Amino acid sequence: MNYSKKTVYDADVKGKKVLLRCDFNVPQDKKTGEITSDKRIVAALPTIRYLLDQGAAVIACSHLGKPAATFESYVKKQVEKGKNEADITREDWEKSLRKLTLAPVAAHLSELLGQEVIFASDTIGEDAKAKAAALQPGQIMLLENLRFAKGETKNDPAFAKALADMAEIYVSDAFGTVHRAHASTAGVAAYLPAYSGMLVAKELEIMGKALDNPVRPFVAVLGGAKVSDKINVINNLLEKADTIIIGGGMAYTFKAAQGYKIGKSLLEADRIDYAKDMIAKAEEKGVKFLLPVDNICAAEFAAEAEPVLVEGDISDDLMGMDIGPKTRELFAEAVRGAGTIVWNGPMGVFEFPAFAEGTKAMARALAESGAVTIVGGGDSASAVEKLGFADKITHISTGGGASLEFLEGKELPGVACLLDK
């Protein structure tokens, strides 16, 4: 995939209306609706400020949560959760939508920018169209939650065109959504010249270089629960990396493939042959393939479970919960001399303090490595931030699913649609 895309700096935005796709999918307090972290809003500020300073009129848009776009789809969701269809009302559906309005985001963005963010009560309806038509250079508005419209996730051309008709230029700055072919992430580019915002440009530059032209040795650290989630990542990285480190729940399927007993640890029995193939392929290609040599185990999956150090086979009454001290040192040694390190997925059940040491050791090793360090979104990003190493990492990706698909070498629809440099 071509990662060299035109950015906002290549666009003449003065006096133009710019449709800006942001990622304002912020966490909120379930009871009060209050925004509990504004990181994603803050991340969009450099691109927004640049566009406004250049004399653009900015029409920002985003999704928030997973609302049911129609009453029928809401009923279906509720029935799947075990509710009686006869008890579900339109009022319930409308209430669920109100909880996912972007109005609080518009208010918070106004405070951060120090100027009014005009809020449209719909996406392509009369209110949005009228406010977009009246928008002046240097002003910004925010459309209501894109997913309130059923055409958004279906990449409906009519919905994409209606969004595009409000503007003259499209800018994508929501990296967390570029792996989805939605109307606002890919569809609008069929009708408008499409550029990347600063956030997306940074992701493409850093992650693209890491995969296509890394400073070597290139070490990939993969963790998380399931091998099946990382199959395509491992396949792709075996062609690019010098060393692959496997930790987390997925490591136990590889250990089983090597003939070890893994007790009650997480196992994907249908992936054992795949694990054997990957170990053999790594050897054939001269790629170091490192697996845990000791584990911190427990009799049950619980925060208060007693940690037990195990080397070799794990007994039937125990399950692996984290990598052990020898493995931590083995993995840390492997990243010490690295030129580029990409990390995706925790080394253990890091949300339980007793089983967070492996993930903590990996984060520390990356922070002290002196290498170009890239942490994929999702759990590994949360771990690095939670453990206090975020400021020592070169780049923490803003996209969980997007960064994973990036590492898989997949073409991302929201990137492919942007103008090539």
**Catalytic site positions:** 40, 226, 378, 401
Contacts (Cβ under 8 Å, ≥6 apart) of 175: 23, 199, 200, 203, 397, 398, 399, 402, 403
Task: Give the three-state DSSP class for 416.
Answer: helix
Q: What is the Cα gyration radius of the chain?
A: 23
Please tell me the chain's helix, strand, coil percentages from 3-state DSSP, rounded to the nearest 5: 40, 15, 45
* Four-residue CA torsion sign, 239, 242, 248, 252: positive
Contact 18, 58 (CB under 8 A): yes
Contact 355, 322 (CB under 8 A): yes
Structure token pair of residue 150: 């059923």
Contact 196, 22 (CB under 8 A): no
Give the chain's count of helices (H) and strands (E).
15, 15
Angle ∠(247,304,347) on CA atoms, nearest 5: 10
Token pair 């992430």 is found at: 185
Contacts (Cβ under 8 Å, ≥6 apart) of 66: 147
